Amino acid sequence: MKLLYLTALLIAVQNTKTAHLTTSTTSENGSSIASTYSSSHFSLRRLKRQSNCMPDGYLNKGVRCCNKCRAGTYLKKSCNGTSPSECHPCEEQGYTDSDNHLSSCLRCIQCQEGNGQEVEIECRATSNTKCRCMKNHFCKTPEKCDRCFPCKECDNNTEEIVRICTRTNDTVCKAKGKEQNYLWLIVLVPILALVPLLYWKRKALPCNKKKSFDTKECVAFIGSNSPKPEEPAVPDIDLTEDILQFIAGKIEPRAYHQLGIHLGLGEPKLQQLEADYRDDIKRQGYNVLYSWLQSHGKKGAFPKLIEALRKESCAYTADNIMDALINRKENDVTDLE
């Protein structure tokens, strides 16, 4: 009996220890879970507080929403319980282009003359410098241009220009006389087909009208082999705003695009001007000439423009403009209207 009693007592003691151990483990696990919940709850509260900041604010050190600095300034000192953020304006050659909490302004880029670049738009407090290729230079990667290359020059003795150089495309040359064996056939057939039509319609062509200041023509007589009279020398005239507007009014609107190409503006610039002034053709023509004048400069600009008009089969327009500007009295453009 004593043996059975001792055995039962040992079993009871063992069960008591096991129950205590289980309770202790549960307590420890419960504490761990509570600790994890507390940490996670804190992170959620912090995230919620950060999301409650206004769009023009930011969370400073995870405890306080501060106001951002406006474009053109940077954060000198974050806000506290009594005062807002302290913002200072960007110094020279520094900028920020949006609301921010930067500790300093971004550095303006420098256009590299050694890489064929020049400044198109100067750096401002709210925008970075914008560079472009110098005259007679082009960029192989216009979307992100880091270097401009000199335009190719065609050999006048052996080559002719197919496409002039622009800021986004190099000059394209081809050998003189190339493909002439077949080209004359391609050209001759349309000419022979057009001769009867041009004969009957010759009186309606602007080329056959008497020259006057109201004449607007850019119709080339295709296939004419008659010798051209020697063109008079063109003096250099200062192209003021009034004169530029007068010239733009004398050019046929449909000739603006091709004239701009011949002057070297390039397709992207011309397409932008056509989109900007789609509803005002006169302003479109004026801005084509104005954009070209800005890149060319006034010196020698008038002879260059007259030469371009003549090459674009607008010889009468060129002569009328010259007559009006060279023979005007006392340099008064208002007399030309």
Higher pLDDT, 112 or 23: 112
Give SS3 for 135: coil
- State the Cα–Cα distance between residues 324 and 264, nearest whole angstrom: 26
pLDDT of residue 210: 44
pLDDT reading at 118 higher than 70: yes
Tell me the domain boundaries of the chain. Answer: 58-107, 112-205, 233-337
The whole-number average pLDDT for the span 209-227 is 44
If you classify domain 233-337 with CATH, what class do you get? mainly alpha
Model pTM greater than 0.75? no
Mean pLDDT of the chain: 75
Tokens found for residue 88: 């200072």
CATH number for domain 112-205, candidates 2.10.50, 1.20.20, 3.30.160, 1.10.3470: 2.10.50
- 32 CA to centre of own chain: 60
64-79 pLDDT, tens per residue? 899 999 999 999 999 9
Neighbours of 216 (CB within 10 A): 18
Q: Please indicate whether the domains covering 58-107 and 233-337 agree at the CATH topology level.
A: no
The helix/strand/coil state of 153 is coil
The two tokens of residue 144 are 């992100």
**pLDDT band of 200, cuts 50, 70, 90:** low
Query: How many CB atoms are located within 10 Å of the residue 309 CB?
Result: 26
Q: Select 58-107's CATH number: 3.40.50.150, 3.90.660.10, 1.20.120.530, 2.10.50.10.
A: 2.10.50.10
Please indicate whether residue 104 or residue 179 has the higher confidence score (pLDDT). Answer: 104
Using CA atoms, how far residue 293 sits from 96, 287, 330, in Å, is 32, 9, 24
Half-sphere exposure of 73 (CA within 13 A, CB side): 14
